[in-house]
Amino acid sequence: MNKKQKKMLVRILLAAAFMIGLHFIEIEGWYRFIAYMIPYLIVGYDILIKAGKGILNHQVFDECFLMAVATLGAIALAIYDNGDYTEAIAVMLFYQIGELFQSYAVGKSRRNISDLMDIRPDYANIENNGTLEKVDPDEVEIGSVIVVQPGEKVPIDGIVLEGNSSLNTSALTGESLPRDIKAGDAIISGCINMSGVLKIKTTKEFDESTASKILDLVENASSRKSRSEAFISRFARIYTPAVCYSALALTILPPIVRMLGMNLDPEWHVWMYRALTFLVISCPCALVISIPLSFFAGIGGASKAGVLVKGSNYLETLSKTKIVVFDKTGTLTQGVFEVSGIHHNQIENDKLIEIAALAESASSHPISKSLQRAYHHEIDRSRVKDIQEISGHGIVAKVDGQDVLIGNTRLMEKYHIPYKECHHTGTILHMAINGQYAGHIVISDMLKPTSLKAMQALKSCGIEKLVMLTGDIKKVADSIGQKLGLDAVYSNLLPGDKVEKVEELLSSKPEHAKLAFVGDGINDAPVLSRADIGIAMGAMGSDAAIEAADIVLMDDDPMQIPKAIKISKKCLRIVYENIVFAIGVKLICLLLGALGLTNMWIAIFADVGVMVIAVLNAIRALFVNKL
């Protein structure tokens, strides 16, 4: 509890003790009134002040006004009837208990989010004359060299100059698996250095670093309200004045009808008591508090799982998603090319890879890199001469004095080398040595291990159509689509073509269904922006992802996508439960109150009790571990 909450708890306990003590003391007349006003003012003075300020500011109709009118009216009736003041004090007492509980629940949600997003560094280490000097991260300029010791947070994005270590990225990804890092690797702020000392050259200012952008995203999420939240806000503005006027009508009209039309005792005090009970019941606290809290907790729970949601409106849209469209590279596949097949012609596999790696040693192309990795040995560049890269064809070189050709079918045809057709899926590199066909190597962009499981999970959580858009050739795209059980695959697409295809899917989908696009957030920014909901995947350190997408998945595991959808569905289910429960209970109690079948104690339950139950239900959105 914070200081304010502790002060309120003391006031509640003190007022309760006074109220209970007065039951054992016999006091008559005005002394009795004054005695009971002590606990009433102890627990409710701030409500009365807020109600007064609201009247002066012409913002009359809020819960403080309802509580003030209801309790002061109950006190007036107790004076008139020489009755009990306990009900008025109890209404104010239990209302404040509910407010304290709500304040604590919101505080707990904020603390949970703060804990799981505790990535803002307090300082950066600058080496000065052999000693480390702690400085404010804001003061570190781009290109500075900082030192991160074991156990410290990485304060600013940069490149590792010296050192090897493992990084704890759980605050960013929600996963506890450490990430190994070495000299030359890019490193992002918010990670915790677990082992070795790292020297890092900064590539961004502190305000532009990943940690700052993520914190800003989470802190501003509440500014983008969902339709449910907006509805509740509008509902409260109309509902509160309506019940106030209804209570006034309940006070005046029945007595007048009884007096003029039926010649009966108007029973003013009876109808006033009913009207005051009606006011207590009608307080919209449960809705006004629990609905935003549900979304706040949902965003917090998602953040803990490495799913950053930019606003509750996006959480609501995600829950209605029926079509998910994927980019291929880096989303469903690893985005890292690997040798998946070797087919030789009178030459050993290892020898074919060795010659290919040497011939491709001067190239930085991803396919060349995959051949160099497959060789598993250090490349001796002195063995390679006369390297010539023929655009759109491949490479010609001398390896150990032998003429080597490595490339596509056009290269073979250019040099009149008879080659064997290959029907394997992937990029085919044909090779010839000294004018003789030597075989071919298949290079593939491998599927992520969890891609198939993720597609199955999406189907099981209500997704009706899975689509893949890719610039890759049809043969490769169709093969991946078949392996993953996708409903539609579109290949050979440029970035502009992807936008057009998403436009087609949006125009042909059912009106109620929402379309989500999942991409890497860099090349797919136009599509991310055009879809109903844009999801950037594996976006650790990607500025474009954080800027373009509505939801950012900090891990590149495809299983994060169904998890995000399940989180959104759970959050919206809790929101609807609270709306139905709160309105349902209040309508029943309002009707019973108008008929005189309830008293102030039932009214307290309809207000405070319903609010506490709704808040407890809302907090469930924080817990997503079992999804």
Provide the strand spans (E) within 100-190. Answer: 124-128, 131-135, 145-148, 158-162, 165-168, 179-181, 186-187
Distance CA 469, CA 488 (A): 9
Q: Residue 455 is which amino acid?
A: M
Provide the strand spans (E) within 194-280. Answer: 198-202
Alpha helices in 360-450 (DSSP H): 366-375, 409-414
Give the residue from 513, 543, 545, 510 showing the smallest Cα distance to 529: 545
Cα Dmax for the chain: 122
Kindly report each contact of residues 391-395 with a partner whose C-beta sits within 8 Å and lies 24 or more positions away, as own/partner: 394/429, 395/359, 395/360, 395/363
Residue 113 CA to chain centroid, in angstroms?
A: 11
Q: Residue 600 is which amino acid?
A: M
Distance CA 500, CA 522 (A): 18
Phi-psi region of 242 (alpha: psi -120 to 50; beta: other; left: phi over 0): alpha
Residues in the chain: 627
Q: 28-64 b/e with 16+ CB inside 10 Å = b? A: eeeebeeebeebbebbbeebbebbeebeeeeeebbbb
The per-residue DSSP string of 525-542 comes to: HHHHHHSSEEEEES-TT-
Pairing of strands 394-399, 384-390: antiparallel
Q: Which residues, 6+ apart, have CB-to-CB distance to 554 below 8 Å?
A: 169, 172, 173, 174, 214, 306, 307, 308, 538, 539, 540
Residues with catalytic annotation? 327
Distance CA 489, CA 170 (A): 34
Alpha helices in 432-473 (DSSP H): 451-460
Q: What SS3 state is found at 492? A: coil
Distance CA 465, CA 480 (A): 16
